[in-house]
C-alpha cells in the first residue's frame, strides 16, 4: 500500500475564531503600544533633530511628535485600524466578526475594548465624562482654596495660573461631550427606531480618540502647565512652555473625535429614522442634538486649524502669530472665537432639549409649540456663527464692526427666549410629577435666566469694556455652561439612568446631592458677580484684601458644590451597583427608547417600529394618550387610567 492510501483522511481546517486579532486587543494593549511608540519617537527625534534657529523649537518639535505618536500608537494597540486594514487587504470583517466587535457575549469586558455597539460607546462616554469632571472639579477646588485668604501661598502664582488653564479646558471638553456623548450615542439611535449608528466603527473611534487625548492633556501638568488660560492667546502661546504642546495636541485630537462623532450622529438622524417618523414626528432631543453636533462640525475645525498653526510656530518657527516676522495675533483670536462662541451652544442645546424631552413626560402635556422649539434651535445655531467678535471689543480689531456684532449678540436672545417659552408653556398648569429629572428643569430656568441676562449686558460695548477680564465674566459663563448645561445633563442622566443601567436612581440621595450642589453653585457665582462688579481681575492668584469677603463666600460655595456633587456621584454609583431593578418604562413615556426591554437587546428592536403619531400626544386634561397620568402621591408610580378620564 502507498503512504497516501494508508494515511488518515484529512480534516477540514477549523474556522477562525470570530474577532480574529481583535480578541487580543483592548485598552491595556493600546496603552502599551502607545507608550512604546511614544518612547521610540522621543528617542529618535531627540537624537536626530537639528537645533532649529537658536534652539527655541527643537524641544517643542520633539514633544509634539512624541505626543502624536502616543495617540497613534494607542489607536493601533486598541484595534482602531484593524477593520480598515482588513478591508484594504480584501478581507473585510465577517458577520461573526461584526458581532464580536459589537460586544456580543463579552460581558463587562466589552467596555474595555474597541466595541461598536452604540450602547457600549454611550456608557464609555458617560464614564469618561465623569472622570473629566472629577479632574476639573479637583483643580477648581485647588483654585478656590488658594483664594480663601489674601496672600495665600497654597500654590505659587505660576502653578495657580497653570491650574486655571488646565481646569478651563478640561471642563470645556467635558461639557461639550456630557450630553451628546452618552445620550447622543446610547439613546438617540433607539429613539429614532434604529438598530445602531450609521458608522459603528467610526462611533467607537470617536470615543477612543477622546480617551487617548485625556492623558495628553493631563501631561501638561508635568510639562510646565498651561499658563495662558484655556483660550491660549497668541503670541503668549508661542512663548509658553511645553505644556502648550500638550494642549495643542489635545485640541487637534479632540477636534477629530468630535468631527467623526458629529458626522455619525447627523447621518444617523437623517438616514435611519423609523418608517413614519417624519421630521414633524421626530423627538425634540434629536433636533437639538443634531443642531449641536452639526454646529460643531463647522466651528471646531477653526480651533483645530489654530492649533495646527500654533504647532508649526512652536515646532518649526513658522511665525503665523509672530508679528516680528509678518504674523498676526488677531489671526489666532478670530480662529479661536469662531469656535469659542458657537461652542457655548454646542454645550447648551443638547442639555436644554434633553429637558424639553423630559418636561412633557412629567407634566403629561404635549410639548408647548413644537414648531417654536425647532425655530428656536435653528435660530440659535444660525446666529451663533455671527457673534464671535464680541469677545474682541477691547482688542482693537476692526472697531467699526463693534455695532453689528453687538446687534447679532443681542438678537440671539430671541431664539433663546423661544426655548424658555416652550419649557414654561409646557409646565404651565400641568400636573407636574415632581421627580428628580424634572427638578433640573426648574433649576435650569433659574440659572440660565441669570446667565442669559448678564450675557445681554456684556454684549453692549460700554459694559464689556468695563467688565472685560473681570470675575463678572467668569460668573456669567459659569451660569450658562454649568448652571444650565451641567444642570440639564444631570436631569438627563436621572431620566435615562434606568434605561442605560437597568436600575432606578436613588432619588432621595440624588435629589439631596443635586440641590446642595445648586445652592452651592449660586453662592459661589453670586459671590463672583459681586467681586467682578468691584473690578476683581480673572486669573490672579492673590487679588488682595479688598476682595476678601467675596472670595471667601465663593470658596465656601465651591466646597458646598463639591459636597453636593460627591453625594450625587455616590447615589449614582450605589444605584448602578445595587439599585432597585428598573422596568422597561418606569416613567410611562412614549418615545421609542422606552418601548424596548431593559436591558436593551443588542440590535435594539426585533422588528423595526413604524411610527403613526407624534410622541407628545398627551391629552390636555393631564392624562396621557397611553393611559398613564402622574400620581397624586409624590414618589408613587404612574397610575393607569382610561384615556380622557376626568
pLDDT in tens, 319-335: 899 998 889 999 999 99
Distance between CA atoms of 504 and 493, rounded to whole angstroms? 11
Residue 642 — left, alpha, or beta (φ > 0 → left; ψ -120 to 50 → alpha)? beta
Q: What is the pLDDT of residue 93?
A: 83
Cβ partners under 8 Å of residue 57, min gap 6 = 314, 315, 316, 317
State the pLDDT at residue 414.
95
Predicted pLDDT of residue 56? 63
What's residue 519's pLDDT?
A: 98
646 has pLDDT over 90: no
- Predicted confidence band at 246 (pLDDT cuts at 50, 70, 90)? very high
C-alpha cell at 349: 442645546
Q: With bands split at pLDDT 50, 70 and 90, how would you rate the model's confidence at 9?
A: low
In CATH terms, 348-599 corresponds, of 3.30.420.40, 2.60.120.1310, 1.20.210.10, 3.40.50.620, to 1.20.210.10
The distance from CA 207 to its chain's CA centroid, rounded to whole angstroms, is 11
Is the previous residue joined to 499 through a cis bond, with omega within 30 degrees of 0? no
Region 95-101 average pLDDT = 91
Q: Report, as an integer, the average pLDDT of 110-114.
A: 96
Average pLDDT over residues 159-188: 96
Give the residue-averaged pLDDT of 559-580.
96
**Contacts of residue 38, Cβ cutoff 8 Å, sequence gap at least 6:** 66, 67, 69, 70, 73
Q: State the number of CA atoms in the 13 A half-sphere of 55 facing the CB.
A: 0
Going by C-alpha positions, the residue among 256, 343, 225 that lies closest to residue 68 is 256
CA 279, CA 270: separation in Å to the nearest integer?
A: 9
- Which grid coordinates are listed for 147? 483664594
Measured distance CA(125)–CA(94) in Å, rounded: 27
3-state SS, residue 646:
coil
- Domain layout of the chain by residue ranges: 348-599
Q: Length of the chain, please?
A: 646
Say which residue the cell 434651535 belongs to: 377
pLDDT value of residue 619 = 63
The string of pLDDT tens digits covering residues 423-435 is 999 999 888 999 9
CA angle, residues 349, 354, 356, in degrees to nearest 5: 95
Read off the pLDDT of residues 27-44 as tens digits, 9 standing for 90 and up.
999 999 999 999 999 999
The pLDDT confidence band at residue 16, using thresholds 50, 70 and 90, is low
Could you give the CA distance from residue 443 to residue 521 in angstroms, rounded to a whole number?
Answer: 11
**What cell was used for 308?**
495646527
What cell does 248 get? Answer: 495643542
pLDDT at 628 over 50: no
User: Residue 348 is placed in which grid cell?
Assistant: 447648551
Lowest-confidence pick of 8-12, 54-58, 599-603 = 8-12
Residue 536 has phi, psi (to 5 degrees) of: -70, 130
What CA–CA distance (Å, rounded) separates 140 from 168?
9
Choose among 425, 416, 444: nearest CA to 367: 425
Q: What is the per-residue pLDDT for 638?
A: 43
| Per-residue cell: 336 | 479661536
Query: Are 364 and 629 spatial neighbours (Cβ–Cβ below 8 Å)?
Result: yes
Residue owning grid cell 469659542: 340
Whether 125 and 182 have beta carbons less than 8 Å apart is answered as yes
- The dihedrals phi and psi of 469, each to the nearest 5 degrees, come to 80, 10
Amino acid at each position: 500500500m502507498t503512504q497516501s492510501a494508508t494515511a488518515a483522511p484529512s480534516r477540514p481546517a477549523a474556522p477562525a475564531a470570530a474577532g480574529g486579532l481583535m480578541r487580543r486587543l483592548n485598552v491595556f494593549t493600546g496603552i502599551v503600544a502607545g507608550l512604546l511608540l511614544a518612547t521610540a519617537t522621543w528617542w529618535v527625534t531627540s537624537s536626530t533633530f537639528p537645533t532649529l534657529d537658536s534652539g527655541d523649537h527643537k524641544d517643542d518639535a520633539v514633544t509634539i511628535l512624541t505626543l502624536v505618536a502616543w495617540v497613534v500608537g494607542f489607536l493601533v494597540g486598541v484595534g482602531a485600524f484593524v477593520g480598515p486594514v482588513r478591508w484594504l487587504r480584501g478581507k473585510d470583517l465577517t458577520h461573526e466578526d461584526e458581532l464580536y466587535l459589537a460586544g456580543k457575549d463579552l460581558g463587562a469586558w466589552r467596555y474595555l475594548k474597541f466595541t461598536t455597539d452604540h450602547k457600549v460607546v454611550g456608557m464609555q462616554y458617560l464614564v469618561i465624562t465623569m472622570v473629566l469632571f472629577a479632574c476639573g472639579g479637583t483643580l477648581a477646588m485647588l483654585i478656590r482654596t488658594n483664594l480663601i485668604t489674601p496672600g495665600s501661598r497654597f500654590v505659587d502664582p505660576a502653578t495657580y495660573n497653570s491650574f486655571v488653564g488646565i481646569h478651563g479646558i478640561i471642563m470645556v471638553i467635558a461639557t461639550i461631550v456630557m450630553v451628546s456623548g452618552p445620550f447622543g450615542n446610547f439613546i438617540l439611535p433607539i429613539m429614532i427606531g434604529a438598530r445602531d449608528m450609521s458608522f459603528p466603527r467610526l462611533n467607537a473611534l470617536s470615543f477612543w480618540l477622546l480617551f487617548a487625548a485625556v492623558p495628553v492633556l493631563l501631561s501638561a501638568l508635568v510639562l510646565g502647565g498651561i499658563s495662558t488660560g484655556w483660550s491660549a492667546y497668541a503670541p503668549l502661546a508661542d512663548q509658553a512652555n511645553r505644556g502648550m504642546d500638550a494642549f495643542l495636541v489635545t485640541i487637534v485630537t479632540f477636534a477629530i473625535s468630535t468631527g467623526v462623532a458629529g458626522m455619525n450622529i447627523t447621518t444617523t438622524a437623517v438616514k435611519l429614522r423609523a418608517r413614519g417618523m417624519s421630521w414633524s414626528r421626530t423627538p425634540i432631543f434629536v433636533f437639538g442634538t443634531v443642531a449641536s453636533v452639526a454646529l460643531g462640525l463647522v466651528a471646531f475645525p477653526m480651533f483645530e486649524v489654530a492649533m495646527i498653526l500654533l504647532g508649526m510656530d512652536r515646532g518649526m518657527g513658522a511665525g503665523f502669530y509672530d508679528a516680528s516676522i509678518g504674523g498676526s495675533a488677531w489671526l489666532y483670536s478670530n480662529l479661536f472665537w469662531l469656535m469659542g462662541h458657537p461652542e457655548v451652544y454646542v454645550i447648551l442645546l443638547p442639555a436644554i432639549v434633553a429637558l424639553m424631552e423630559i418636561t412633557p413626560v412629567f407634566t403629561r402635556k404635549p410639548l408647548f409649540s413644537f414648531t417654536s422649539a425647532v425655530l428656536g434651535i435653528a435660530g440659535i445655531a444660525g446666529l451663533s456663527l455671527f457673534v464671535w467678535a464680541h469677545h474682541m471689543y477691547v482688542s482693537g480689531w476692526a472697531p467699526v464692526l463693534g455695532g453689528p456684532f453687538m446687534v447679532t449678540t443681542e438678537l440671539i436672545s430671541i431664539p433663546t427666549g423661544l426655548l424658555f417659552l416652550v419649557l414654561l408653556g409646557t409646565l404651565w398648569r400641568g400636573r407636574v410629577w415632581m421627580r428628580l429629572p424634572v427638578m433640573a428643569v426648574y433649576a435650569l430656568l433659574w440659572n440660565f435666566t441669570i446667565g442669559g441676562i448678564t450675557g445681554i449686558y456684556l454684549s453692549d460695548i460700554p459694559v464689556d469694556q468695563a467688565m472685560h477680564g473681570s470675575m463678572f465674566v467668569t460668573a456669567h459663563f459659569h451660569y450658562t455652561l454649568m448652571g444650565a448645561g451641567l444642570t440639564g445633563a444631570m436631569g438627563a442622566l436621572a431620566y435615562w439612568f434606568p434605561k442605560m443601567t437597568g436600575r432606578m436612581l436613588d432619588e432621595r440621595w440624588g435629589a439631596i446631592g443635586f440641590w446642595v450642589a445648586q445652592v452651592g453653585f449660586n453662592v459661589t457665582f453670586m459671590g463672583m458677580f459681586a467681586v467682578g462688579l468691584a473690578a476683581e481681575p480673572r486669573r490672579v492668584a492673590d487679588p488682595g484684601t479688598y476682595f476678601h469677603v467675596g472670595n471667601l463666600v465663593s470658596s465656601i460655595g465651591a466646597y458646598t458644590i463639591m459636597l453636593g456633587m460627591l453625594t450625587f456621584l455616590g447615589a449614582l454609583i450605589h444605584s448602578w451597583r445595587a439599585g432597585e431593578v428598573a422596568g422597561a418604562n418606569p416613567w410611562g413615556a412614549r418615545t421609542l427608547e422606552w418601548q424596548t426591554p431593559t436591558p436593551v437587546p443588542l440590535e435594539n428592536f426585533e422588528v423595526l417600529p413604524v411610527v403613526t403619531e407624534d410622541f407628545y400626544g398627551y391629552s390636555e386634561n393631564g392624562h396621557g394618550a397611553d393611559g398613564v397620568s402622574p400620581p397624586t402621591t409624590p414618589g408613587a408610580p404612574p397610575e393607569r387610567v382610561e384615556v380622557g378620564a376626568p
